[in-house]
Structure formats: structure tokens, C-alpha cells
């Protein structure tokens, strides 16, 4: 938290994660949410294409 100047270490042992995530749990959560979001977007696109009378790959 650099905005307030507070610099606290994690209570448990942590290892450096991937890219900007400090914990592997954060990586899994973000990747899971991204996959769910992509799935939702794809399903909504197919639904929209069907409603608009377009081929599914266009939607």
C-alpha cells in the first residue's frame, strides 16, 4: 500500500508468484474469472447473433 506509506508483510510464508501477483491464489482467481467472463461473452454473442439474424461467428 504505497498510497498511505504502509508496508506490511504477509502473515504466512509467501513465494513470488507470476507476473504482478504476489500469491498463486490470486492468479487462479483472476484466471478463473477471466475464463468465466470469456464464456459469458461468447454465449451472449451467440444469443445476440441469433436475435439479429446473423451467423453465429459474426455475433
Note down the domain range covering 30.
23-59
Alpha-carbon gap, residue 57 to 23, rounded angstroms: 37
Total domains, the chain = 1
Alpha-carbon gap, residue 37 to 43, rounded angstroms: 10
Predicted confidence at residue 11, as pLDDT, reads 67
Alpha-carbon gap, residue 5 to 35, rounded angstroms: 35
Question: Could you read off the pLDDT of 1-37 as tens digits, one per residue?
Answer: 556 767 776 666 656 667 788 888 999 999 999 999 9
Would 15 be classed as within a structural domain? no
Would 18 be classed as within a structural domain? no
**Residue 30 CA, distance from chain mean position:** 4
Would 10 be classed as within a structural domain? no
Would 13 be classed as within a structural domain? no
Region class of 47: left (phi > 0), else alpha (psi between -120 and 50), else beta = alpha
Prediction pTM value? 0.59
Amino acid at each position: 500500500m504505497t498510497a498511505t506509506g504502509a508496508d506490511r508483510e504477509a502473515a504466512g510464508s509467501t513465494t513470488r508468484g507470476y507476473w504482478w501477483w504476489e500469491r498463486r491464489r490470486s492468479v487462479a482467481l483472476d484466471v478463473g474469472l477471466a475464463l468465466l467472463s470469456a464464456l459469458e461473452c461468447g454465449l451472449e454473442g451467440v444469443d445476440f447473433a441469433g436475435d439479429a439474424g446473423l451467423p453465429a461467428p459474426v455475433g
